[in-house]
Structure 1
């Protein structure tokens, strides 16, 4: 795979159009729609409950006014404390908590605990602190006479009593009541809103879990599809390599004999060498195909990672690669030969895309319980979105090549229980990371 160019598909084993899942984002859309409907319904109910509670408070105020007028319409003076206590007890279940009689803006008699707030003239209804308050005129009545002067002057009203133009006092009555029904409506609507919010949280949690399941299912489906394609490619490659190997060996041998016979012929020798070179290239292709379909069984032995890397660097060409090794000798359970092949594939690609005179850098380091090989080249990097696709078989950007090198590398690394990844570095070039965990880790 040549980095920096658009990968081309050399061969494709799948045909037709395959249905693709809608993706793990669908549960989020469904959850958002459900939450929107649920919260909208809860808010509408909440608003209706608040409006209804206001109507209930006004209705209770009207009931209190009518009850007060009915209870105290008889009599000529200020209702007594006993009368107010009896009125309070009679209407306590209805929510009444406090009743007071006003004369000239002053409370002259009261029953219960509470307050009607700041005194105001006229009919006043309001809601403060979760309670309803109302003040209205009780009745107009004659002022209480204290005494008649000895000189025959007119009777004198109680000191401080408000006297209407017609000579009667203006009394007012105020109530403070607890609108139980209205408060229940508010509490229930608030409870419904809380339930809606909690339900939305639960729906979002379920959507998250469902989306994770869908993502895992989609990843598993992709892995199964990849395995199916690899199996089909492996069967085809094995048959093709087997059928080509013997004819190629014969062709290569006769071409080499022919090249030796015409060694002194300046016209025929280049042509014979060309035949030998092409035969060698086809032989390498068959070897790659056989390596691709090779059994997954590994022959692990205690191996020094430095020796594996050193052998891969020597095979690639020490003049083109700058290697950094582990500071101490270590033993890792590796199939040395096959892992060396994986490293060589990556190093050769890196050397091919790097400019002349720029050496490829390769490091082997310990990261926790894993062994990591890092290869950095100085080429154009990896096209965006192709970080995974370059490891697929028969994907290449070179005119000469079948795109099996990185596919073989990934297979070898995965057989060791590890992983391989690629990215474009910020400073330029590509970086490959081959991660191998400790056996059993």
Structure 2
């Protein structure tokens, strides 16, 4: 069971509460802020609309009361001059039209407005349409002043069968702009727009902050990985140097012993086993030293075909099908180290491919870069493992320490290139070693 160090426990205890969320923390905070901000803005908007309706009704009452006060002492219907004067005195308050209607026909009016039969039949005393509000209410028809009537006129008015036509009702109409209500609605609309713009800004900041956090965590992981690799490299170098000389002595004596007991059927296989294990350990030491080798390259103009040919010959397998460049093309590279990188990939491909299935290797030019491609027909690379297989000491084989691909990537990256691993459509793994021209 792995125990946490006191330093790690202290770091976890002192970490902010949002640290487990990682890059998602800014998004959570931003969404909460936007929810609160939009809720407040929508509540204010709803309240403003209700208040604007109350303000419009209040303005209608004020205008109606002002009309009663202005026309109550008039004899008969208000005339044109009275309506003009009333409109002029209340224009700053938003009044735009005033009229006396009989049915839908104006008897006398002032200002610009229009009232239809539908407005009369609606029955609603106050109606708001866009930027205009309309108030309609009934008024009493003034009684005509009659002089003395003759006996014949009186009899004519009261005679049987003389039916008077019913008088049509009169209505007073006021059209006005509820300026205060409109301003209230406009301000609430602007407030809602500001809230939306603020939410967009908050989300943009959350996006930038989350990316910054993600990059910071990635950088921290990369630094930690580099620190571990540096410590691992130092340890590997010390072990390799300390073990190399004793191992060479062990290998030499084991080979001498194998030669002496070559005729002994009982001891010869055991001595051969000692020699093979010593050779395997020697290869392991070479891999460790190659992993911690200096990052300096010795670039010279070399033919990529020769590098690939030497790597294929070193594997000792006849199942590798090679496709070379059509002509000799000198390229600035460290031929020895690049050959080592290709050997590691080719050995893995030969081991992964079943008997009878070839390994395909090629070199070609693509966009001012050399591209070495190695394909096998083995099980391929598991999804999500395309990057992990290049980590040191990661291997899927029982024998081996998993340094080959790590060394390959390091050599190619020292050349300024990259290594891409994937499973190809034909089944199996495909490795592409991309080496750009120097300075590209």
TM-score clears 0.5: yes
Q: Sort the Cα spacing of 1:78 and 1:281 in 2 relative to 1 into closer, same or farther, 3 A.
A: same
CA positional deviation for 1:170: 3.8
Is 1:123–1:136's contact at 8 Å kept on the other side of the alignment? no
Aligned to 1:125: 126
Aligned counterparts of 1:323 and 1:357: Cα–Cα separation in 2: 16
Offset at residue 275 of structure 1 (A)? 0.8
Q: Following TM superposition, by how much is the alpha carbon of 1:251 offset from its aligned partner in structure 2, in angstroms?
A: 0.8
Summarize the Cα distance change of 1:114–1:363 in structure 2 as closer, same or farther, 3 Å threshold. farther
CA contact (8 A) 1:372 1:434 kept: yes
The answer for the alignment partner of 2:160 in structure 1 is none
> What is residue 136 of structure 1 aligned with on the other side?
137
Please say which of residues 178-187 and 70-79 is displaced more in the overlay: 70-79
Aligned residue number for residue 60 of structure 1: 59
For 2:211 and 2:165, the matched residues in 1 are separated by 79
Shift of 1:145: 7.0
Paired position in structure 2 for 1:12? none
Partner of 1:353: 352
Q: CA deviation at 1:435?
A: 2.1
1:171 and 2:174 matched: no
Give the equivalent residue in structure 2 for 1:94.
Answer: 93
The 1:16–1:395 alpha-carbon spacing in structure 2 relative to 1, beyond 3 Å, is farther
Structure having greater relative contact order (Cα 8 Å, sep ≥ 6): 1
Cα distance change of structure 1 residues 62 and 188 upon mapping to structure 2, 3 Å threshold: same
Maintained 8 Å contact 1:116/1:134: no
Describe the superposition over 1:235-282 as per-residue Cα deviations: whole angstroms up to 9, x where unpaired.
Answer: 111111111111111111111111111111111111111111111011
Q: Distance in 1 between matches of 2:365 and 2:112?
A: 78
Q: Quickly say closer, same or farther: Cα 1:148–1:82, change in 2 above 3 A.
A: farther
Larger mean CA deviation between 420-429 and 30-39 belongs to 420-429
1:322 is matched with: 321
Summarize the Cα distance change of 1:88–1:212 in structure 2 as closer, same or farther, 3 Å threshold: same
The answer to whether structure 1 residue 230 and structure 2 residue 238 are counterparts is no
Q: Is the 8 A contact 2:22 2:214 kept in 1?
A: yes
SS of the residue corresponding to residue 395 of structure 1 reads coil
Distance in 2 separating the partners of 1:373 and 1:410: 13
| 1:332–1:438 contact (8 Å) kept in structure 2 | yes
| Partner SS state of residue 22, structure 2 | coil
Q: Distance in 1 between matches of 2:296 and 2:281?
A: 26
1:299 match: 298
1:288 touches 1:404 (CA, 8 Å); kept in 2? yes
How does the TM-score come out when normalised to structure 2? 0.88
2:261 — aligned with what?
Answer: 262
> Distance in 1 between the 2:225 and 2:25 partners?
24
Aligned to 1:424: 423
Cα distance in structure 2, aligned partners of 1:317 and 1:63: 105
Q: Distance in 2 between matches of 1:191 and 1:381?
A: 60
Where 2:23 maps in the other structure, the secondary structure is coil
Kindly indicate whether the alpha-carbon contact (under 8 Å) linking 1:103 and 1:162 is maintained by their aligned counterparts in 2. no
**Distance in structure 1 (CA, Å) of the matches to 2:147 and 2:406:** 115
Q: Cα 1:127–1:292, aligned 2, differ >3 Å: closer, same or farther?
A: same
SS in 1 for 2:284: helix
Aligned pairs for 1:324-403 (under 5 A) are: 324-403=323-402
Please give the secondary structure, in 1, of the residue aligned with 2:171: strand
Displacement after TM superposition at 1:16 (Å): 6.9
Unaligned runs of 5+ in 1: 1-14, 156-160
State the partner residue of 2:82. Answer: 83
1:201-259 deviations in whole A, cap 9, x for unaligned?
Answer: 21222122212212221221111111111110111111111111111111111111111
Answer with 318-327 or 82-91: which moved more.
318-327
Partner deviation per Cα, 1:268-308 (whole Å, 9 max, x = no partner): 11111111111101111111111011001111112222222
Corresponding residue for 1:44?
Answer: 43
Separation (CA, whole Å) in 1 of partners of 2:386 and 2:20: 22
Q: Hey, what's the Cα distance between the residues in 1 that align with 2:148 and 2:284?
A: 132
Question: Distance between the aligned counterparts of 1:21 and 1:283, measured in 2?
Answer: 45
Gaps (5+ residues) in structure 2? 1-6, 13-18, 158-163
State the TM-score, normalized to the length of structure 1. 0.88
Q: Distance in 1 between matches of 2:327 and 2:177?
A: 83
For residues 303-361 of structure 1, give each alpha carbon's deviation from its aligned partner in whole angstroms, at most 9, with x where no partner exists: 22222222212222452222223334333321111111111111111111111111122
